[in-house]
Amino acid sequence: MVAANGITLHVQRLDPVDGPDADRAGPRPTVVLIHGMASDTMASWYFTMAEPLVRAGFPTVLYDLRGHGRSTRPATGYTLDDLVDDLAALLAELAVTGPLLLFGNSFGGTIAFAYAARHRERVVGIVAVESAPPIPEWMRRVAVRFDRVATRLAQEPALAEIGARRGPIAARRAADTGRMLADTSLARELPASRLPSTGALAAIDCPVLCLYGGRSAVGELADPVRELLPQTRVVVLPDEKHSVLIDVPQTVRRHVFDWLTEQCGLVTTTPATP
C-alpha cells in the first residue's frame, strides 16, 4: 500500500531476477500496467501479462486505480488529470525514474496516452488494449457506457442475472461497481475531464500498439488513432469482444512481444504460457 497524491494505492511491484534475455538485452524499461474503469482491477493484467513480462526481464508495476480494488475510494477526484497525477506520484514514491513502457486496458490506455502527453520524454512505448487516446469521441463513448452500466446495476434483478450467467465472482464485482458509481463522482467527473490538446497528443513520438476485438465498437476509433499517431500499429483480433485481454491472453502476448522486438528494438522472445 503506497501513499501517493493524497490517497493510498494498492500496488504490486515485480522485479526480474534473471530474464531469459537479460544477458544480451541490457537494462529494460519499467513496464506499468494500468487497468480499466469501474469493473476492472490490476488482476486483469496480473493473470495475463505481468509474469511473462517479468520473465522476459522487464521490471513491472501494477496498481489499482483510485476507487478500485484495494485502493482508497474517495467520493470525488476522478478527472483524467487526477488519474495522471496518481500515476506520476506513484512512480515518484517507488523511485521509478527511468524509461517507461505503459500498458493500458480499456480506459487504462487513455491514462497511458494522457501521461505520455505530459511526460513524453519518459515513455518509450505504449500498448493500448481496446482503448484510445483522450479524444472527444472516445470520452463521449465513455459517458454513454457509464450511464448504461449505472442504470442497469440500479435495477434489482441485474445482479441475479449476472450471477446466473457469469457466476458469483462476477456478481460480486458488479455489485461493487454499482456501489462505486453510486457513491462517487466517477461517472460525472471522468467524461467531463479537461483533455490534453491535440498538439500534445500528436507530439507523442514513441511506438504505439493498439489491439482491438473485431466484435467491439471500440475498434471504430482505430482510424482516428492512426491519424493522430501515425506510428501506431493496429491489430484487430477477429471475433473478439471488449474483453480481449481476458479472453485470448496468449494472442495478446504474442502480438505484444513481436511489437517489442520489431518496433521498440527490445530483443526478446515470448515466454511460454505461465
**Cβ distance 69 to 138 under 8 Å?**
no
Q: Which amino acid is at 247?
A: D
Question: Domains in the chain, please, with CATH?
Answer: 2-132+201-262 (3.40.50.1820)
What is the three-class DSSP state of 98? Answer: coil
Three cell numbers written together for 84:
495522471
Residue 272 has pLDDT above 80, yes or no: no
Top-confidence residue, 252 or 28: 252
The DSSP annotation for 193-250 comes to PPPPPHHHHHT--S-EEEEEETT-GGGGGHHHHHHH-TTEEEEEETT--TTHHHH-HH
* pLDDT score for 21: 47
Q: At what angle do helices 80-93 and 107-118 cross, to 10 degrees?
A: 70
H or E element, residue 63: strand 60-63
Please, which residues have CB within 8 angstroms of residue 144's CB and are 6 or more apart in sequence? none
Count of C-beta atoms within a 10 Å radius of residue 106: 27
Report the pLDDT averaged over residues 140-162. Answer: 84
| E strands, 74-165, in order | 100-105, 123-129
The distance of Cα 210 from the centroid of its chain, to the nearest Å, equals 11
- Looking up cell 461493487, which residue turns up? 176
Phi, psi of 105 (to 5 degrees): -100, 130
Q: How confident is the model at residue 24 (pLDDT cuts 50, 70, 90)?
A: very low
**CA–CA dist 174, 40 (Å, integer):** 10
In this predicted structure, the answer to whether residue 18 has a pLDDT above a threshold of 90 is no
Q: Which grid coordinates are listed for 52?
A: 511473462
Strand ranges across the sheet with 100-105 = 11-14, 60-63, 30-34, 100-105, 123-129, 208-213, 232-237
What mean pLDDT value characterizes the chain? 92
If DSSP codes are grouped into helix, strand and coil, which group holds residue 1? coil
- Is the model's pTM score more than 0.85? yes
For residue 167, report the phi and psi dihedrals to the nearest 5 degrees. Answer: 100, 170
Residue 31, C-alpha cell as written in the block: 513496464
Assess contact for 211 and 75: CB atoms under 8 A: no
d(C-alpha 18, C-alpha 53), whole Å? 12
Cβ contact 261:267 at 8 Å:
yes
Pairing of strands 2-4, 7-9: antiparallel
At 97-137, the pLDDT tens digits run 999 999 999 999 999 999 999 999 999 999 999 999 999 99
Instruction: Tell me the pLDDT tens digit for each residue of 186-244.
Output: 999 999 999 999 999 999 999 999 999 999 999 999 999 999 999 999 999 999 999 99
